[in-house]
Amino acid sequence: MKPPQKQESTQEQSTEKNKDISEYREESKTPTSYQDSEPEGAYLEIIEDPANEEIVDDDPLEKDYDNTLSKPGVSLQIILGPEYAQENSVCYWRIKAVVSGNPAPEIKFSRDDSNGSWGPDIVQVNLSEGQSYTLICDIKNSEGSASSSLTLGWIENKEVPDSGQSQSQQSEQDSLQIDYQDVANFKIDVNLSTQRVTVYYKDSAIKSMVCSGGLPQSPTPIGNFTTYQKIYYAWVAKYNQGAYYWTRFYGSYLIHSVPFDKNGNIISEEYAKLGSPASHGCVRLEVEDAKWLYEVIPLGVSLVIHN
Protein backbone atom coordinates (compact mmCIF):
# COMPACT_ATOMS: atom_id res chain seq x y z
CA MET A 1 0.00 0.00 0.00
CA LYS A 2 1.35 3.37 -1.00
CA PRO A 3 -0.32 6.38 0.61
CA PRO A 4 -1.57 9.45 -1.22
CA GLN A 5 0.57 12.55 -1.13
CA LYS A 6 -0.38 15.94 0.05
CA GLN A 7 -2.55 18.37 -1.85
CA GLU A 8 -0.74 21.41 -3.27
CA SER A 9 -3.52 23.98 -3.46
CA THR A 10 -1.64 27.25 -3.71
CA GLN A 11 1.72 28.57 -4.84
CA GLU A 12 2.24 29.76 -1.27
CA GLN A 13 1.98 26.19 0.04
CA SER A 14 4.46 25.02 -2.59
CA THR A 15 6.87 27.76 -1.61
CA GLU A 16 6.53 26.89 2.07
CA LYS A 17 7.15 23.21 1.32
CA ASN A 18 10.30 23.95 -0.63
CA LYS A 19 11.45 26.29 2.11
CA ASP A 20 10.80 23.67 4.81
CA ILE A 21 12.75 20.98 2.99
CA SER A 22 15.58 23.37 2.22
CA GLU A 23 15.84 24.38 5.85
CA TYR A 24 15.74 20.75 6.92
CA ARG A 25 18.56 19.77 4.61
CA GLU A 26 20.69 22.50 6.15
CA GLU A 27 19.95 21.11 9.61
CA SER A 28 20.74 17.54 8.64
CA LYS A 29 24.26 18.37 7.47
CA THR A 30 25.54 18.54 11.06
CA PRO A 31 23.77 15.96 13.22
CA THR A 32 26.63 15.85 15.69
CA SER A 33 24.52 17.00 18.64
CA TYR A 34 22.71 13.66 18.90
CA GLN A 35 23.80 11.04 21.41
CA ASP A 36 24.43 7.33 20.85
CA SER A 37 20.74 6.36 21.12
CA GLU A 38 19.25 8.79 18.63
CA PRO A 39 15.46 8.87 18.18
CA GLU A 40 14.16 7.87 14.78
CA GLY A 41 13.99 11.43 13.51
CA ALA A 42 17.67 12.11 14.10
CA TYR A 43 18.79 11.26 10.60
CA LEU A 44 16.12 11.83 7.97
CA GLU A 45 17.11 11.25 4.36
CA ILE A 46 14.46 13.08 2.33
CA ILE A 47 13.54 11.31 -0.90
CA GLU A 48 10.41 11.45 -3.02
CA ASP A 49 10.30 7.75 -3.95
CA PRO A 50 11.20 5.15 -1.30
CA ALA A 51 11.85 2.56 -3.99
CA ASN A 52 14.76 4.62 -5.31
CA GLU A 53 16.77 5.25 -2.15
CA GLU A 54 20.09 6.92 -2.77
CA ILE A 55 23.07 5.80 -0.68
CA VAL A 56 25.36 8.66 0.17
CA ASP A 57 29.08 7.87 0.24
CA ASP A 58 30.97 9.69 2.99
CA ASP A 59 33.94 10.21 0.67
CA PRO A 60 32.79 11.01 -2.88
CA LEU A 61 36.42 10.96 -4.08
CA GLU A 62 36.49 7.20 -3.56
CA LYS A 63 33.59 6.55 -5.95
CA ASP A 64 34.28 4.78 -9.22
CA TYR A 65 32.36 6.92 -11.68
CA ASP A 66 31.10 5.40 -14.92
CA ASN A 67 31.78 7.88 -17.71
CA THR A 68 30.48 5.66 -20.52
CA LEU A 69 28.13 7.68 -22.73
CA SER A 70 24.71 6.15 -23.40
CA LYS A 71 21.45 7.02 -25.10
CA PRO A 72 18.55 8.14 -22.90
CA GLY A 73 15.56 6.05 -21.93
CA VAL A 74 12.37 6.99 -20.07
CA SER A 75 9.28 5.41 -18.56
CA LEU A 76 6.44 7.09 -16.67
CA GLN A 77 5.26 5.77 -13.31
CA ILE A 78 2.22 6.80 -11.28
CA ILE A 79 3.48 7.48 -7.76
CA LEU A 80 0.21 8.97 -6.46
CA GLY A 81 -3.36 8.88 -7.55
CA PRO A 82 -6.11 9.19 -7.89
CA GLU A 83 -6.24 11.77 -5.10
CA TYR A 84 -8.94 14.36 -4.53
CA ALA A 85 -9.18 18.03 -3.64
CA GLN A 86 -11.67 20.87 -3.46
CA GLU A 87 -14.48 18.68 -2.10
CA ASN A 88 -13.84 15.98 -4.72
CA SER A 89 -14.23 18.40 -7.64
CA VAL A 90 -10.59 17.82 -8.62
CA CYS A 91 -8.97 14.43 -9.18
CA TYR A 92 -5.19 14.59 -9.40
CA TRP A 93 -2.30 12.30 -10.25
CA ARG A 94 1.42 12.56 -9.58
CA ILE A 95 3.76 11.04 -12.17
CA LYS A 96 7.50 10.32 -12.03
CA ALA A 97 9.80 10.04 -15.04
CA VAL A 98 12.25 7.17 -14.52
CA VAL A 99 15.16 8.02 -16.82
CA SER A 100 18.47 6.50 -17.84
CA GLY A 101 21.35 7.68 -19.97
CA ASN A 102 24.73 9.34 -19.63
CA PRO A 103 25.08 12.26 -19.42
CA ALA A 104 21.91 12.71 -17.37
CA PRO A 105 19.11 13.63 -19.77
CA GLU A 106 17.19 16.89 -19.75
CA ILE A 107 13.53 16.21 -18.90
CA LYS A 108 10.57 18.10 -20.36
CA PHE A 109 6.91 17.39 -19.55
CA SER A 110 3.90 18.59 -21.52
CA ARG A 111 2.13 19.65 -18.33
CA ASP A 112 2.76 20.22 -14.63
CA ASP A 113 -0.03 21.64 -12.48
CA SER A 114 2.31 21.76 -9.46
CA ASN A 115 4.56 24.29 -11.21
CA GLY A 116 7.74 22.34 -10.48
CA SER A 117 7.07 21.85 -6.76
CA TRP A 118 8.11 18.19 -6.82
CA GLY A 119 11.36 18.61 -8.72
CA PRO A 120 12.38 18.14 -12.36
CA ASP A 121 11.28 14.51 -12.69
CA ILE A 122 7.84 14.59 -10.99
CA VAL A 123 4.71 16.40 -12.18
CA GLN A 124 1.11 16.67 -11.06
CA VAL A 125 -1.92 16.61 -13.36
CA ASN A 126 -5.23 17.98 -12.03
CA LEU A 127 -8.44 16.86 -13.73
CA SER A 128 -12.03 18.04 -13.41
CA GLU A 129 -14.96 15.64 -13.66
CA GLY A 130 -15.07 13.85 -17.00
CA GLN A 131 -11.66 15.06 -18.15
CA SER A 132 -8.71 13.01 -19.39
CA TYR A 133 -5.21 14.01 -20.42
CA THR A 134 -2.28 12.34 -22.17
CA LEU A 135 0.93 13.36 -20.44
CA ILE A 136 4.03 13.39 -22.65
CA CYS A 137 7.60 13.36 -21.36
CA ASP A 138 10.48 14.11 -23.73
CA ILE A 139 14.09 13.65 -22.68
CA LYS A 140 17.38 14.21 -24.44
CA ASN A 141 21.12 14.23 -23.94
CA SER A 142 24.15 14.45 -26.21
CA GLU A 143 23.63 10.84 -27.33
CA GLY A 144 20.00 11.08 -28.43
CA SER A 145 16.41 11.53 -27.30
CA ALA A 146 13.44 9.49 -26.09
CA SER A 147 9.78 10.00 -25.28
CA SER A 148 7.04 8.36 -23.22
CA SER A 149 3.35 9.09 -22.73
CA LEU A 150 0.64 8.15 -20.25
CA THR A 151 -3.12 8.82 -20.43
CA LEU A 152 -4.76 9.86 -17.16
CA GLY A 153 -8.49 10.12 -16.49
CA TRP A 154 -11.01 11.35 -13.96
CA ILE A 155 -12.05 8.67 -11.45
CA GLU A 156 -14.92 9.22 -9.04
CA ASN A 157 -14.03 9.20 -5.35
CA LYS A 158 -16.11 6.44 -3.79
CA GLU A 159 -14.35 6.39 -0.43
CA VAL A 160 -16.26 7.38 2.70
CA PRO A 161 -14.47 10.38 4.30
CA ASP A 162 -13.41 10.48 7.92
CA SER A 163 -14.25 6.81 8.48
CA GLY A 164 -12.00 6.79 11.55
CA GLN A 165 -14.01 9.45 13.36
CA SER A 166 -16.92 8.72 15.62
CA GLN A 167 -20.30 10.25 14.76
CA SER A 168 -20.05 12.54 17.78
CA GLN A 169 -16.64 13.83 16.68
CA GLN A 170 -17.88 14.41 13.13
CA SER A 171 -20.98 16.18 14.43
CA GLU A 172 -18.86 18.37 16.71
CA GLN A 173 -16.54 19.25 13.83
CA ASP A 174 -19.44 20.03 11.50
CA SER A 175 -21.08 22.31 14.08
CA LEU A 176 -17.93 24.42 14.51
CA GLN A 177 -16.96 27.21 12.19
CA ILE A 178 -13.28 26.31 11.94
CA ASP A 179 -10.78 28.84 10.67
CA TYR A 180 -7.77 26.73 9.70
CA GLN A 181 -5.53 29.80 9.70
CA ASP A 182 -6.45 30.50 13.32
CA VAL A 183 -3.33 28.92 14.82
CA ALA A 184 -3.89 30.18 18.36
CA ASN A 185 -7.15 28.27 18.82
CA PHE A 186 -5.79 24.85 17.84
CA LYS A 187 -4.20 22.45 20.31
CA ILE A 188 -2.79 18.96 19.80
CA ASP A 189 -2.96 16.69 22.86
CA VAL A 190 -0.82 13.53 22.96
CA ASN A 191 -1.82 11.18 25.78
CA LEU A 192 0.87 8.52 26.20
CA SER A 193 -1.20 6.60 28.78
CA THR A 194 -4.06 6.00 26.36
CA GLN A 195 -1.88 6.22 23.21
CA ARG A 196 -4.19 8.75 21.56
CA VAL A 197 -3.71 12.07 19.78
CA THR A 198 -6.62 14.50 20.01
CA VAL A 199 -6.88 17.77 18.11
CA TYR A 200 -8.89 20.59 19.66
CA TYR A 201 -10.26 23.80 18.21
CA LYS A 202 -11.49 26.37 20.73
CA ASP A 203 -11.46 23.63 23.40
CA SER A 204 -13.70 21.33 21.33
CA ALA A 205 -12.27 18.00 20.13
CA ILE A 206 -12.45 17.80 16.34
CA LYS A 207 -10.48 14.57 15.79
CA SER A 208 -9.11 11.77 17.99
CA MET A 209 -6.59 9.25 16.64
CA VAL A 210 -4.85 6.13 17.91
CA CYS A 211 -1.06 6.49 18.08
CA SER A 212 2.15 4.80 19.18
CA GLY A 213 4.59 6.73 21.32
CA GLY A 214 8.15 5.81 22.25
CA LEU A 215 9.34 2.64 23.89
CA PRO A 216 10.64 2.80 27.50
CA GLN A 217 14.24 2.82 26.24
CA SER A 218 13.44 5.54 23.68
CA PRO A 219 10.65 7.61 25.27
CA THR A 220 8.67 10.41 23.70
CA PRO A 221 9.48 13.69 25.47
CA ILE A 222 6.84 15.07 27.83
CA GLY A 223 6.04 18.77 27.90
CA ASN A 224 4.67 21.71 25.93
CA PHE A 225 5.84 22.19 22.35
CA THR A 226 4.95 23.97 19.11
CA THR A 227 4.82 22.44 15.63
CA TYR A 228 7.24 24.12 13.24
CA GLN A 229 8.11 21.99 10.21
CA LYS A 230 6.51 19.52 7.80
CA ILE A 231 8.27 16.90 5.66
CA TYR A 232 6.35 14.82 3.14
CA TYR A 233 8.53 11.71 3.12
CA ALA A 234 11.79 10.74 4.81
CA TRP A 235 13.90 7.60 4.91
CA VAL A 236 15.63 6.80 8.22
CA ALA A 237 18.65 4.74 7.19
CA LYS A 238 19.59 3.95 10.80
CA TYR A 239 16.39 1.93 11.23
CA ASN A 240 15.98 0.85 7.60
CA GLN A 241 12.49 2.32 7.37
CA GLY A 242 10.72 5.41 6.12
CA ALA A 243 7.50 7.25 6.85
CA TYR A 244 5.16 9.83 5.37
CA TYR A 245 3.61 13.09 6.58
CA TRP A 246 6.10 14.25 9.22
CA THR A 247 5.22 17.16 11.52
CA ARG A 248 8.16 18.30 13.65
CA PHE A 249 7.56 19.63 17.16
CA TYR A 250 10.91 19.32 18.99
CA GLY A 251 14.39 18.66 17.62
CA SER A 252 14.45 15.14 16.21
CA TYR A 253 10.96 14.30 17.47
CA LEU A 254 8.07 14.35 15.00
CA ILE A 255 4.58 13.01 14.38
CA HIS A 256 4.44 10.79 11.29
CA SER A 257 2.79 7.78 9.68
CA VAL A 258 3.45 4.16 10.57
CA PRO A 259 6.75 2.93 9.06
CA PHE A 260 7.25 1.82 5.45
CA ASP A 261 9.92 -0.43 3.98
CA LYS A 262 12.24 0.55 1.12
CA ASN A 263 9.73 -0.78 -1.43
CA GLY A 264 7.05 1.60 -0.22
CA ASN A 265 4.99 -0.98 1.70
CA ILE A 266 3.70 -0.58 5.24
CA ILE A 267 5.71 -2.73 7.67
CA SER A 268 2.87 -4.93 8.95
CA GLU A 269 4.46 -5.86 12.27
CA GLU A 270 4.95 -2.18 13.09
CA TYR A 271 1.43 -1.28 11.99
CA ALA A 272 0.08 -3.95 14.35
CA LYS A 273 1.66 -2.11 17.29
CA LEU A 274 -0.55 0.99 16.91
CA GLY A 275 -2.15 1.76 20.25
CA SER A 276 0.90 0.70 22.26
CA PRO A 277 4.42 2.14 22.71
CA ALA A 278 6.49 1.14 19.69
CA SER A 279 8.57 4.00 18.28
CA HIS A 280 12.10 5.31 18.76
CA GLY A 281 10.67 8.50 20.30
CA CYS A 282 8.44 9.94 17.61
CA VAL A 283 4.63 9.68 17.58
CA ARG A 284 3.22 7.31 14.96
CA LEU A 285 -0.25 7.58 13.42
CA GLU A 286 -2.35 5.76 10.84
CA VAL A 287 -1.37 6.96 7.36
CA GLU A 288 -4.65 8.80 6.80
CA ASP A 289 -4.48 10.41 10.24
CA ALA A 290 -0.89 11.58 9.70
CA LYS A 291 -1.93 12.92 6.30
CA TRP A 292 -4.87 14.82 7.81
CA LEU A 293 -2.66 16.42 10.45
CA TYR A 294 -0.02 17.25 7.83
CA GLU A 295 -2.43 18.75 5.30
CA VAL A 296 -5.14 20.35 7.43
CA ILE A 297 -3.58 21.63 10.66
CA PRO A 298 -1.29 24.67 10.26
CA LEU A 299 2.18 24.99 11.74
CA GLY A 300 2.71 26.98 14.92
CA VAL A 301 0.09 24.99 16.85
CA SER A 302 0.52 24.23 20.56
CA LEU A 303 1.25 20.54 21.26
CA VAL A 304 1.09 18.99 24.73
CA ILE A 305 2.50 15.54 25.53
CA HIS A 306 1.66 13.89 28.86
CA ASN A 307 1.08 10.55 30.55
Strand 302-306, strand 283-285: pairing: unpaired
Contact 248, 232 (CB under 8 A): no
Q: Is residue 91 among the annotated active site residues? A: no
DSSP 118-161: T-TTEEEEEEETT-EEEEEEEEEETTEEEEEEEEEE-----PPT
Residues 6+ apart with CB under 8 A from 97: 74, 75, 76, 107, 109, 121, 122, 137, 139, 148
Contact 212, 274 (CB under 8 A): yes
List 91, 137, 211, 282, catalytic entry: 282
Q: Hey, what's the torsion of the CAs at 216, 287, 299, 223, to 10 degrees?
A: -20
Residues 6+ apart with CB under 8 A from 70: 100, 101, 102, 143
Amino acid at site 250: Y
List 137, 256, 280, 306, catalytic entry: 256
Please give the Cα distance from 171 to 193 (Å, whole number).
Answer: 26
Q: Is residue 282 among the annotated active site residues? A: yes
Contact 139, 75 (CB under 8 A): no
Q: Hey, what's the torsion of the CAs at 189, 16, 90, 95, to 10 degrees?
A: -110
Strands (E), the chain: 70-85, 90-102, 106-109, 122-128, 132-141, 144-153, 186-191, 196-201, 204-212, 223-226, 229-236, 241-250, 253-257, 283-285, 302-306
Contact 289, 258 (CB under 8 A): no
As annotated, the active-site residues are 256, 282
